[in-house]
Amino acid sequence: MNVIDVILTKRDGGRLTDEQIDWFIGSYTDGGIADEQASALLMAILFRGMEPAELARWTQQMIASGTRADLSGLGKPTVDKHSTGGVGDKLSLILCPLAAACGAAVPQTAGRGLGHTGGTLDKMETIPGWRSTLSPEEVLPVLRDVGAVINAAGPDLAPADRKLYALRDITGTVESIPLIASSIMSKKIAEGTGALVLDVKVGSGAFMKDLDQARELAKVMVGLGEAHDVRTVALLTQMDVPLGRTAGNALEVVEAVEVLAGGGPPDVVELTLALAREMLDLVGIDADPAAVLADGRAMDSWRAMVRAQGGDPDAVLPTAHEVEVVTAPATGTLSRLDAMAVGVAAWRLGAGRARKEDAVSPTAGVGWRATVGDHVTAGDPLLELHLDDPARLKDALEALEGAVEVSPDPVNPSPLVHARVTPQDL
């Protein structure tokens, strides 16, 4: 097999054969193909795309580059949720213990934040003692006893994706639906879940800016799940406005715990319940997640999950040294709170990273007192910027220029869920 022939096949619009795909994924993972040659193929895929069967084979080989966990012996159905990334999206922290409290097992492999989007592991690591590096031997007892685990990807989980993801990040080949879909789904399938709910974000603060693009990605991922015997459904959800009332690591943990305690922002509760119902429906569990939130079972599950991974659920989380307040510019209805601007501001305050190896601040972030559709009064506090390094404030404030608009007329916020994609929609 010749890597030049593989590149030329895709460059000229051809379909890669199963043999070409098998050889390329195996050889690149093992170091037998140079990064510049792999980059050329990724760029060709970005421009030429992949056929469904071709992409299914590509994803299959990414899974096969490592091991696929076998969770069949747990004695309970397995289901997971994955978000394509947004601002203020702390839903995994709530959904994992909530679904577990309803009788499912949630083997969530989570990631870290990059740029303006937050990472579940960064948020959980603000809890003293909590660790994200459980071995496969440690994961199984936690899933059996507690029902949920949030863990970093181990070295045997789709190692081909780890190499290709890093390469895409530095070669301008991130924006490819086949490559995005295979990256997400190879890891989710390899983790061993039997069912998966996808939260595909749409809007200014999301990777997918328009609904048609998001729907295409959702269909491709649902198709890949079905092709690998993982029951999969996707919800297309809004991300023009940040979710909840906070964006930042410890800030979002506090908000997630508020929801688990039966409170929290209405939009977070609404979307959490919509995703939870999809998760339970996929695995045939007849339970009311709203009741499980209300009666404390979800909170009990959260506390058990945190303890099982070495954390202290009663610990006081760190807070920022300084809080800078930004006031409402006018009186009326908040008509715009731009998710991208809020996410970039949180990032510049220290909550995010520009490179994977960067450290993040556990305390930095942005809070907001109102969201779109709420009444605000000129001069009253609207945004709170949490920071430990005063030198970061100027850049964060610049990111928020034009992010807020107030209307004299009532404004109806966009629906949280735009659409639902199932295998029947393919």
Mean pLDDT per 10-residue interval, the chain, length 426 residues = 96 98 97 97 98 97 96 95 96 98 97 86 97 93 97 94 90 92 96 97 94 97 96 98 98 98 97 98 98 97 98 97 98 98 96 83 98 98 97 98 97 96 96
297 catalytic? Reply is no
Superfamily of domain 322-407: Pyrimidine nucleoside phosphorylase-like, C-terminal domain (3.90.1170.30)
Residues with Cβ within 8 Å of 109's Cβ and at least 6 positions away in sequence, in order, are: 80, 151, 152, 153, 157, 187, 188, 191
Residues of the chain with CATH 1.20.970.10: 3-49
pLDDT for the residue 355: 77
Residues with Cβ within 8 Å of 273's Cβ and at least 6 positions away in sequence, in order, are: 289, 290, 293
Pull the structure tokens for residue 166.
């890093």
12 catalytic? Reply is no
How many CB atoms sit inside 10 A of residue 169's CB? Answer: 13
* Angle in degrees, CA 403, 411, 369, rounded to 5: 50
210 catalytic? Reply is no
Residues of the chain with CATH 3.90.1170.30: 322-407
pLDDT for the residue 272: 98
Instruction: List strands edge to edge, sheet with 195-202.
Output: 80-83, 195-202, 231-238, 417-421
169 catalytic? Reply is no
Element containing residue 407 per DSSP (H, E): strand 404-407
Domain 72-154+167-315+419-425 has CATH 2.140.10.30: no
Residues of the chain with CATH 3.40.1030.10: 72-154+167-315+419-425
Which residue among 89, 161, 240, 267 is the active-site one?
161
Residues β-bridged to residue 295: none
Residues with Cβ within 8 Å of 72's Cβ and at least 6 positions away in sequence, in order, are: none
Cα-only R_g, the chain: 21
d(CA 310, CA 136) in angstroms, rounded, equals 16
CATH topology of domain 3-49: 1.20.970
Which stretches of 153-291 are assigned E, i.e. beta strand?
Answer: 195-202, 231-238, 246-248
141 phi and psi angles, rounded to 5 deg? -65, -35
d(CA 176, CA 168) in angstroms, rounded, equals 10
pLDDT for the residue 175: 85
Which residue among 81, 112, 123, 168 is the active-site one?
168
* Angle in degrees, CA 123, 127, 129, rounded to 5: 130
Which residue among 183, 186, 204, 301 is the active-site one?
183
d(CA 182, CA 161) in angstroms, rounded, equals 8
8 A C-beta contact, residue 61 and residue 164:
no
pLDDT for the residue 9: 98
Which one, of 155, 150, 128, lies nearest residue 139 by Cα? 150
Q: Residue 148 carries which side chain, given as an amino acid letter?
A: A
187 catalytic? Reply is yes
pLDDT for the residue 174: 86
d(CA 271, CA 33) in angstroms, rounded, equals 43
Which residue among 82, 112, 116, 162 is the active-site one?
82
Which residue among 81, 112, 123, 187 is the active-site one?
187
d(CA 108, CA 151) in angstroms, rounded, equals 6
